[in-house]
């Protein structure tokens, strides 16, 4: 079993337990009540603005790096990203491997005005309703842990709740599956979640397989200003940057440098 399959299995177990506390129908009603407040497609709109979009990640730990931030001042981190010009914020809520919590996302959503991607391993419709309830603007759908039917249904459910769906792929076959599911935002993970090896050029190789009207986001392994410039030159619309931001001694300066490099 790969680490990705292991994480997905634990997510299934976690959802089963959560349903005992808050049943599906209750979570669904809570989510539908949130839709009335209308936050629309603010995540997609943020990514469609002129220039390269930066989705900056709030992440305490990861399976590949272990503990990244022992103190983890998540609200301060989010405010730094907003002040420096991020387009959106990605918040890890997966507890077992990333030490994430739903409360991190909820509190961040109340502290900054940026749209927020809930970064988790979606394996059940319940999690999509939950994402809406905790304050997310978008969810992550990972092709390799979902069937074609799930991809389609989960995307449609997300959009019915005014949540954007960032559909993550790793190879050409998954690009085809994502396009068949009618995605509007496609993310290419440069980290192979089976081996943890990172190859930023994975995004560049797959860019010409995706129509230009679909937002194309490069995820993982983006560490330098040169990386950013290369992605811009190859037609990438947005980048999701985690560890490079989380390990920086000055997050605002780091993001400012990245943004400037994308425009030069």
**Catalytic residue ranges:** 57, 59, 119, 168, 189, 219-220
SS3 readout for the chain: CCHHHHHHHHHHHHHHHHHHHCCHHHHHHHHHHHHCCCCCCHHHHHHCCCCCEEEEEECCEECCCEECCCCCCHHHHHHHHHHHCCCEEEEECCHHHHCCCHHHHHHHHHHCCCCEEEECCCCCHHHHHHHHHHCCCEEEEEHHHCCHHHHHHHHHHHHHCCCEEEEEECCHHHHHHHHHCCCCEEEEECECCCCCCECCHHHHHHHCCCCCCCEEEEECCCCCHHHHHHHHHCCCCEEEECHHHHCCCCHHHHHHHHHHHHHC
């Amino acid at each position: 079993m790969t680490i990705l399959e292991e994480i997905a299995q634990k997510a299934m177990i976690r959802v089963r337990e959560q349903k005992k506390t808050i049943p599906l129908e209750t979570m669904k009603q809570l989510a539908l009540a949130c839709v009335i407040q209308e936050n629309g497609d603010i995540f997609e709109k943020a990514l469609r603005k002129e220039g390269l979009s930066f989705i900056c990640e709030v992440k305490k730990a990861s399976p590949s790096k272990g503990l990244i931030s022992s103190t983890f001042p998540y609200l301060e981190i989010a405010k730094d990203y907003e002040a420096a010009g991020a387009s959106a914020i990605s918040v890890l809520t997966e507890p077992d491997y990333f030490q994430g919590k739903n409360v991190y996302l909820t509190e961040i959503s109340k502290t900054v005005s940026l749209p927020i991607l809930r970064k988790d391993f979606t394996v059940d419709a319940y999690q999509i309703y939950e994402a809406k309830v905790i304050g997310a603007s978008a969810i992550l759908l990972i092709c390799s842990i979902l069937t074609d039917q799930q991809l389609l249904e989960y995307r449609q459910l997300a959009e019915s709740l005014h949540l954007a769906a960032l559909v993550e792929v790793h190879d050409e076959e998954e690009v085809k599956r994502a396009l068949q599911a009618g995605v509007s935002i496609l993310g290419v993970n440069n980290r192979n979640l089976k081996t943890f090896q990172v190859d930023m050029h994975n995004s560049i190789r797959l860019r010409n397989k995706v129509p230009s009207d679909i937002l194309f986001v490069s995820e993982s392994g983006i560490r330098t200003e040169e990386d950013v410039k290369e992605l811009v030159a190859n037609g990438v619309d947005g980048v999701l940057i985690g560890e490079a931001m989380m390990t920086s001694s000055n997050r605002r300066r780091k993001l400012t440098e990245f943004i400037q490099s994308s425009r030069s």
